[in-house]
Structure 1
């Protein structure tokens, strides 16, 4: 007979092997990391919002990438920092499902926005005369909304299916709630859940294929002229670095979650599990801030204006 229980709480075991000394060090490092993530992403959002000359499709997509980073990391860092200061690492059933929904809708939206940025660069470099007629303000708004709504819908379907499962345990062996970890606690078959999950995964990794095809055309077009090569280097290389950053981090987490060895040390498991919550939100705005001249100059100009205002005060 299946011993199904009505759960109200889950326990998280990712921190169980850490001593108090390690926790203090980790808390300091995590808090610093989260503060930097908040700072660099907020700086780009404010800069793009205030600077009218940055109200172009590429920068609007970049702004949404930064907003999405703040959205996703908000579901992990506050809870994780709280766990580091506590001996009891538990989360409510509802809170767990909400954490899964936010974190993975964040990851999915990242892929969608990066695909939009690739499309924008394709039109700008391969069809420059048509750029302003194709990437209109109305179409950009529609694309941004569509990229977010599809990811939210996909994750909502996954979460509804997960919430209907009867569970025979409450122990999650990670630092945060993750859908596959919940599915492993199911008392019944999860075949349908796995099929839907893989469809969503392949759909979003299919965005990578779209981006690769776009860049094949971009490279061909950029090699034809010096101006094309310059535009490719300035605006496409940061995008490729961000794409590699997001894809590698998320792929590590997905593959290890489903096929990882139990003999791997817990510290390695933890690092692999949270890469996509550390590296993309931290590095993406820094990469773009350093590489895109307009963004870099706008940030510096706003900083100088703020200092001048303080000096006058």
Structure 2
């Protein structure tokens, strides 16, 4: 295709022809999506109903669960709809909307974990000032800032895509990946490289730096405290460490999927690599945090 005016939709070529297996794939995907929504919603409801959990840590956790549902919703409905599609086409507006939702929630995930790490840092390292610093009003303002920051990162990083002229419309993936879409443009400028660096710096590097600093200070304090306090710190911090670790595993898989090595990877494996984070992370979050919520609720009786 010659230019953007002729390109009204993209074809998601990674679906291929699944034949009769589409009913099985549809059932599995639908079950997993519903399970993600139910698991995260249950945790949100438990935190809302149990007044003992109306603390900054659990307010931030509720926001993280909302983000997991948002991220999953940006992916799974499209997967479900494409199971029964013969053309696997996605219109430009829907494709850009999916990119906006996916990359905003990805940034919000790291930023939310950074906010939770800061909360644990204040709780463990400055317990006497915790109620003053982490007021409920400030926590809600912090959550609002996380979402505004994440959305603006996407706009400033990838808004140039909306004005690109495309010489092709076949995206070799199951969702609208910005790097693959940029490769379809008639002229790839330096803006694509700069936008990736900008997004990685603001959405991953800076939040990860804040998380690392928070936990290094927590570790320094725990070395000087009692065994009981160390166990409490480990109980509340371990889920966040697991979440951050899994996010980086997903980022590595995404980097592999976007690299030149992708041609050497089987199609089925490639699809799993590309959506690994949206398969594991949304389900991992409610299960690794529910035990912490239960333990802390018992301690508050």
TM-score calculated relative to the size of structure 1: 0.89
**1:70 CA drift (Å):** 0.9
- In 1, Cα distance between equivalents of 2:280 and 2:58: 20
- In 2, Cα distance between equivalents of 1:189 and 1:14: 23
1:104-253 equivalent positions in 2, closer than 5 A = 104-206=103-205, 207-223=207-223, 224-253=225-254
Distance 1:177 1:159, change over 3 A: same
Give runs of ≥4 in structure 1 deviating > 4 Å. 294-297
Could you report, residue by residue, the CA deviation over 1:243-282 in whole angstroms, capped at 9, with x for unpaired residues? 1122211332134214433121111110000011111101
Could you report, residue by residue, the CA deviation over 1:155-211 in whole angstroms, capped at 9, with x for unpaired residues? 122342110111111110000001111100111232113202211112222222221
SS at match of 2:187: coil
Distance 1:264 1:296, change over 3 A: farther
Distance 1:227 1:75, change over 3 A: same
SS at match of 2:64: helix
Distance 1:46 1:212, change over 3 A: same
> What is the aligned residue count?
296
Could you report, residue by residue, the CA deviation over 1:48-88 in whole angstroms, capped at 9, with x for unpaired residues? 12222211111011000000111111111111011112222
Distance 1:281 1:91, change over 3 A: same
Cross-structure match for 2:281: 280
Unaligned runs of at least 5 residues, structure 1:
298-313
Q: Report if aligned partners of 1:12, 1:174 keep a CA contact under 8 Å in 2.
A: yes
Q: Report if aligned partners of 1:222, 1:232 keep a CA contact under 8 Å in 2.
A: yes
- In 1, Cα distance between equivalents of 2:233 and 2:190: 44
Could you report, residue by residue, the CA deviation over 1:77-115 in whole angstroms, capped at 9, with x for unpaired residues? 111011112222110000000000101111110000000
Q: Report if aligned partners of 2:153, 2:203 keep a CA contact under 8 Å in 1.
A: no
Unaligned runs of at least 5 residues, structure 2:
none
Cross-structure match for 1:291: 292
**1:295 CA drift (Å):** 7.0
Cross-structure match for 1:25: 24
- In 2, Cα distance between equivalents of 1:15 and 1:189: 26
Q: Report if aligned partners of 1:180, 1:257 keep a CA contact under 8 Å in 2.
A: yes
Q: Report if aligned partners of 1:180, 1:258 keep a CA contact under 8 Å in 2.
A: no
Cross-structure match for 2:11: 11
- In 2, Cα distance between equivalents of 1:162 and 1:227: 53
**1:226 CA drift (Å):** 2.2
SS at match of 1:91: strand
**1:292 CA drift (Å):** 3.1
Cross-structure match for 1:311: none
Cross-structure match for 1:264: 265
Q: Report if aligned partners of 1:4, 1:187 keep a CA contact under 8 Å in 2.
A: yes
Q: Report if aligned partners of 1:31, 1:81 keep a CA contact under 8 Å in 2.
A: yes
Cross-structure match for 1:55: 54
